[in-house]
Homo-oligomer: A and B are copies of this chain.
Amino acid sequence: MYPVITISREFGSGGHSIGEKVAEKLGIPFYDGEIVNRAAQESGYCKELIEEQGEATSSASKWFDISAASTMYFQSPQDEIFLAQRKVILDAAKKGPCVIVGRCSDYILRKAGVPCLNILIHADMVHRKKRVLERYGDMKEMGVEKRIEKKDKQRRTYYRYYTDQHWGKYENYDLALDSGNLGEDTCVHLICELAEQFPTRK
């Protein structure tokens, strides 16, 4: 049986696309936008807000304490969205092998004791800019780089806030891949190879 696979990614590194192809090749469910849909049902917030705030933080405090969440008097909308997304991630992993992108899924599943393969996808700025331009069209070059930096910062802050850990530490990943240098297909191939070998891992 394949493992649950989490994918953390820099913006524009192709993590979404790589995760989608891995899920397709292995024939297992893929969760990225789907987390938004389900979290909307869970929380009552509309999809658009969750899309916008789903990897953002309020600035109310330095970090969020999951273990105290149920007893907390005040939760920001971002905290409620985090908790709704967390529930979706835990439910998805409970059902069996799948690929889950972002939203602290590596941390959430590790904390819950769910064995999974944690993957990091990164790439240099040249490759990321090219990819973002191809995907989102005719932004000016300066605009692209700023957008990438802003998105990365938002995701790092989100991770720091909800996990009290720094994003991107190599120790947190079984496998980290440079999709810029290696290309998307090679990344997909290596992750699938690893998933095949998972039951025999030490």
Contact = CB atoms under 8 A, between A and B. Distances in A.
Given A175-B175, A175-B176, A182 B170 contact: no
Given A170-B120, A170-B168, A190 B194 contact: yes
Contacts of A168: 170
Contact of A183 (B124, B173, B182, B202): B202
Interface residues of A, number: 26
A200 interface: yes
Contacts of A182: 174-175, 194, 197, 201-202
A2 B182 CA distance: 14
A181 B201 contact: yes
B194 A186 contact: yes
29 contacts: A120-B170, A120-B176, A122-B170, A122-B171, A168-B170, A170-B170, A171-B178, A173-B176, A173-B178, A174-B177, A175-B175, A175-B176, A175-B177, A175-B182, A175-B190, A181-B202, A182-B197, A182-B201, A183-B200, A183-B201, A183-B202, A184-B202, A186-B194, A186-B197, A186-B200, A186-B201, A189-B197, A190-B193, A193-B193
